[in-house]
A and B are shown apart, each in its own frame.
Chain A
Amino acid sequence: MLARIDRQTAVWMFLVAATVATAVLGLEQHGGSTAVGLVLLAIAFVKIRLVALHFMEIREAPLALRVLVEAYVGVTFVALVGIYLLA
């Protein structure tokens, strides 16, 4: 059974599971917790990286494009964390 699940379907299953996890985590938090906020932000960026790599096929792309996409994910995440913690 496992052998029949291709890579992208497996990624999808992970993404759906991560969505449910963030939902539970996000909605069960009592009051505003910075730690939870950071975890939710991190999970979001893990998810978009997976969408880019496996659905948009950046995994198969030339290095330059891959670097640009990874840079976007990394820089945006760091910038948002910075604003979230400092603003």
Chain B
Amino acid sequence: MTAEAADLDRPVVVPDPAGPADGRRIPGEEGLWVFILGDMAVFALFFGTILVTRGQDPSMFDAAQHHLHPWLGIVNTALLLTGSLFVVHGVRRLGDGTPASSRLFALTLVCALGFAAIKVTEYTMLVGEGYTGATNDFFMYYFVFTGIHLAHLVIGTVIVAFLVRVAARPEPTAGQRKFVECGAIYWHMVDLLWLVLFPLLYLIR
């Protein structure tokens, strides 16, 4: 493997020289995963709720799903995935002496704002067509669960804005580096949750 290729495949998580010999390291920090796994578990309850509701009245569910705008959801999925890629590279290039890291997080911010704009557009279109959370159970869960996800994204946007700032410093401290990693993991979680929420609400009949 050439030095260049090896460098490209270098894991973003830098092995801790004082850490275990096998080079494994908890991404971010240990405590963060209480929150991340906990949040994912609560969303798993949401996912189950959607499918249980579907089972109770599949024809209502199916008919309601047809009123959504799936292509907007697909664009949103692509935005979050691309945001994740920018975050990965932003973390990788943190403190390398160039503005790349900060700019990559700024691009993530653009993705986040794009997602939010599209989501709001979707909501507006649906309400304009006469579908609100009170219309039926499907739409109630649609608005509530995508709304809770959107709230997570808004928090993620604030966090990424902080990452832009921290990454602009020439030499981030170990604490700042840890904060950036934790913020990155939170963003990936927002992406991950949408990757399940989207097909459950928009595609699975």
A residues adjacent to B (C-beta < 8 A): 3-9, 12, 15-16, 19-20, 22-23, 25-27, 29, 31-33, 36-37, 40-41, 43-45, 47-48, 51-52, 55-63, 65, 68-69, 72, 76, 79-80, 83-84, 86-87
Contacts and interface: CB of A to CB of B under 8 A. Distances in A.
Interface of B: 2, 4-5, 8-9, 11-13, 15, 20, 23-27, 33, 37, 40-41, 44, 47-48, 51-52, 54-56, 58, 62, 70-71, 74, 77-78, 81-82, 84-85, 87-89, 185, 188-189, 191-192, 195-196, 198-200, 202-205
B27 A87 contact: no
Given A23-B70, A40-B203, A57 B27 contact: yes
A80 B54 CA distance: 12
Nearest to B41: A72
Contacts of A84: 51, 54-55, 204
A47 B195 CA distance: 7
A26 B195 contact: no
A68 to B, nearest CB: 6
A80 B51 contact: yes
A19 B42 CA distance: 24
Q: SS class of chain A's interface: helix, strand, loop or mixed? A: helix
B199 A44 contact: yes
B55 A86 contact: yes
A32 B205 contact: yes
A16 B52 CA distance: 29
18 contacts: A3-B2, A3-B8, A8-B85, A8-B88, A12-B84, A32-B58, A40-B199, A44-B196, A44-B198, A48-B195, A52-B192, A57-B27, A60-B11, A60-B13, A72-B37, A79-B44, A79-B48, A87-B56
A59 to B, nearest CB: 8
A7 B200 CA distance: 28
Contacts of A86: 55
A69 to B, nearest CB: 8
A55 B55 contact: no
Given A5-B8, A40-B199, A87-B51, 16 more contacts: A9-B85, A12-B81, A12-B85, A16-B78, A19-B77, A22-B203, A23-B70, A26-B202, A27-B70, A27-B203, A47-B195, A59-B11, A76-B47, A80-B48, A83-B51, A84-B54
